[in-house]
Amino acid sequence: MHKWEYLFVSLIRDEWGAWAVRQQNDVQIAQRQPATPLYEVSNRLGEEGWELFYYSVASEVPPEMIFKRPKQEEDSAQPRIRSLG
């Protein structure tokens, strides 16, 4: 049976109206000008083995994306999560 690890990504609108990564697993992300497009963020995560598991859009809270991938063994040489900012 698979064990999973999860990546929670919160979004915010940048000054140009595009969605940008605001927070990644409770770590605030410094905003680039302009923000990295979400398709690039998603493609980068896909290359690291992450797949979009859930997407939440609610008017009272910022949108959130949850990604998951099979949990790697602790001694694995594969790098962990890179910053998405």
Residue 33 neighbours by CB distance under 10 Å: 8
Q: Work out the pLDDT band at 73, boundaries 50, 70, 90.
A: confident
Per-residue pLDDT tens for 27-39?
777 666 667 788 8
CA distance linking residue 15 with residue 26, whole number of Å: 22
Lowest mean per-residue pLDDT among 27-31, 39-43, 69-73:
27-31
- pTM score, whole prediction: 0.72
End-to-end CA distance of the chain: 33
Structure tokens at 63: 């949108």
